[in-house]
C-alpha cells in the first residue's frame, strides 16, 4: 500500500536503519489508515528465533543460471533482515547424478526448519522429498516441479511451453528441408535434467501437431570435458552439412555461439534458453537469434520470501507458481540493464 519494500516497512516500524523521509511518511500514513498494531508474539518470535534453512542447487558459477537463483535468495534475505535465518548451502554437480545423490543423502540427515531444492534429477529429488516429508520439514522447489513430490510451493517457468516455443521459433526461421541440431549434454549416470525432459516433450509435441518434418539430429557434448567441445562440434557439423538451425534446451547455448564466432559460422540459426552471460553475448553478437529467459532471480527471491513468511506466520501458501517466459532478441536485450556491461 505504501509502494515500498517489506524491508523498508520493517525499518520504519522498528525505527532502525536508513529510510528516506518520503518512504517513512508513506508507511506511517498507511499504518494510520489500517490502524496498525504490532503483534507482540510474532515480533518477539521473528526477532529471537533463528531459522535453519538448507539450500541445495547445482554448483554456482559466475554469470550462469544458478548464480541468479542464489542472487534472488540473497535479495529476499536482505528484505527480511530482521529475521534470523542461517542458510546451509549444499551444491552438487548437475552433470553427475552420483554427486547429487551424495549431497541429498547428507541433507536428509539434517535437522532443518525448511529446505529449498534446485531440482535437476527427478528420482533423486523424489527420494529426498520423501525423507523430508517423513520429518515434516517443508520444502520449496525452484527451476522445475517434480512429479510425486509434495512441496510447500514451487517456482518455475513452464518448461513444456518453453520447449514448444523453441520448436515454433526455430521452424519459422530455417529452410523447410533443413535439419535441426539439438544439443544434449552427456551426464554421468546418463539421466537428463528434469527441465530438459519437459522441454523436449514440448518441442516434439509442436512438431507433431504442426506436422513438421524437419529431421532432428542430436549434438552430444561431454559436459564434464569442455576441452572436447570444439572437436565434438566440428565433427558434428562436418557430418551434417544440411543443418539449418540449432536448439539448446539447457543454459549452455553459449558454447555453440562461441564456436560459431571463432569459426566464422553465420549460416546457422539458433534458439537458446536462459539469460546467462555467455548466452547474452551470443545474442548480442548475432549468433543466437532468440533467447528465452525464465527469471531465475525472481524464482530464488520468491522461494525464500515464501519460506520466511510461512515459517513466521504459517499462512496458507499457493503451491503452483509459474514465472513468465521472455523471448529476447538482439534488439530487445539492451533493455535488460544488468547485461549492459557486455559489449
So what's the pLDDT on residue 343?
57
Tens digits of per-residue pLDDT, 70-89? 999 999 998 888 788 999 99
pLDDT of residue 205: 97
Q: Give the H/E segment covering residue 270.
A: strand 269-273
What per-residue confidence (pLDDT) applies to 198?
Answer: 93
Residue 143 pLDDT exceeds 90: yes
Element of type H or E holding 74: helix 65-79
Condensed to tens digits (0 to 9), the pLDDT of residues 273-322 reads 999 999 999 999 999 999 999 999 999 999 999 999 899 888 789 999 99
**Quick one: what percent of the chain has pLDDT higher than 70?**
93
Query: What local confidence, expressed as pLDDT, does residue 341 receive?
Result: 61
Q: What is the mean pLDDT of residues 241-261?
A: 95
- Report which of 241, 235, 275 is spatially closest to residue 64, judged by C-alpha positions: 275
How many angstroms separate the CA atoms of 118 and 267, rounded?
36
Q: Which of 32-36, 119-123, 186-190 has the lowest mean pLDDT?
A: 186-190
What's the pLDDT at 266?
Answer: 95
Q: Cα angle vertex 247, ends 205, 250, to 5°?
A: 90
What pLDDT was estimated at residue 49? 79
Half-sphere exposure of 165 (CA within 13 A, CB side): 20
CA distance 53 to 191: 28
Task: Go through the domains of the chain in sequence order and give each one's CATH number.
Answer: 38-157+299-323 (3.40.50.2300), 159-293 (3.40.50.2300)
- Is the entire prediction scored with pTM above 0.85? no
Average pLDDT over residues 199-206: 96
- Residue 186 pLDDT > 80, yes or no? no
The Cα–Cα gap between 196 and 121 comes to: 10
* Residue indicated by cell numbers 527451476: 143
The pLDDT confidence band at residue 55, using thresholds 50, 70 and 90, is very high
Average pLDDT for the chain? 90
> If pLDDT is split at 50, 70 and 90, which confidence band does 40 have?
very low
Helix axes 97-108, 122-134, angle to 10 degrees: 0
Q: Residues 194, 160, 186, CA angle at the centre, nearest 5°?
A: 35
Amino acid at each position: 500500500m505504501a509502494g515500498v519494500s517489506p524491508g523498508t516497512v520493517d525499518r520504519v516500524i522498528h525505527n532502525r536503519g536508513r529510510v528516506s523521509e518520503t518512504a517513512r511518511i508513506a508507511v506511517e500514513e498507511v499504518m494510520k489508515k489500517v490502524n496498525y498494531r504490532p503483534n507482540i508474539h510474532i515480533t518477539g518470535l521473528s526477532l529471537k528465533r533463528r531459522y535453519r534453512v538448507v539450500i541445495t542447487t547445482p554448483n554456482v558459477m559466475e554469470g550462469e543460471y544458478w548464480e541468479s537463483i542464489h542472487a534472488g535468495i540473497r535479495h529476499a534475505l536482505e528484505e527480511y533482515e530482521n529475521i534470523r535465518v542461517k542458510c546451509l548451502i549444499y551444491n552438487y554437480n548437475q552433470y553427475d547424478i552420483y554427486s547429487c545423490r551424495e549431497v541429498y543423502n547428507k541433507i536428509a540427515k539434517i535437522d532443518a526448519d525448511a529446505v529449498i531444492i534446485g531440482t535437476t534429477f527427478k528420482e533423486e529429488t523424489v527420494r529426498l522429498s520423501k525423507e523430508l516429508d517423513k520429518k515434516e520439514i517443508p520444502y520449496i522447489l525452484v527451476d522445475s516441479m517434480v512429479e510425486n513430490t509434495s512441496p510447500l510451493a514451487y517456482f518455475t517457468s513452464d518448461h513444456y511451453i518453453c520447449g514448444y516455443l523453441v520448436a515454433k521459433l526455430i521452424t519459422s526461421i530455417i529452410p523447410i528441408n533443413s535439419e535441426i541440431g539439438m544439443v544434449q549434454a552427456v551426464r554421468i549416470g546418463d539421466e537428463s535434467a528434469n527441465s530438459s525432459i519437459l522441454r523436449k516433450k514440448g518441442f516434439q509435441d509442436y512438431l507433431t501437431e504442426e506436422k513438421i518434418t524437419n529431421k532432428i539430429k542430436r549434438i552430444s557434448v561431454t559436459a564434464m570435458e569442455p576441452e572436447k567441445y570444439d572437436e565434438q562440434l566440428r565433427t558434428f557439423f562436418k557430418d551434417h552439412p544440411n543443418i539449418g538451425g540449432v536448439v539448446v534446451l539447457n543454459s549452455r547455448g553459449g558454447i555453440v555461439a562461441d564456436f560459431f564466432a571463432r569459426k566464422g559460422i553465420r549460416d546457422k540459426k539458433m534458439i537458446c534458453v536462459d539469460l546467462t552471460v555467455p548466452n547474452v553475448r551470443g545474442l548480442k553478437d548475432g549468433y543466437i537469434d532468440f533467447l528465452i529467459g525464465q527469471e531465475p532471480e525472481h524464482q530464488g527471491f520468491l522461494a525464500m520470501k515464501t519460506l520466511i513468511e510461512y515459517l513466521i506466520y504459517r499462512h496458507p501458501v499457493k503451491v503452483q507458481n509459474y514465472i513468465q517466459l521472455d523471448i529476447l532478441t538482439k534488439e530487445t536485450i539492451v533493455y535488460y540493464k544488468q547485461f549492459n556491461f557486455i559489449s
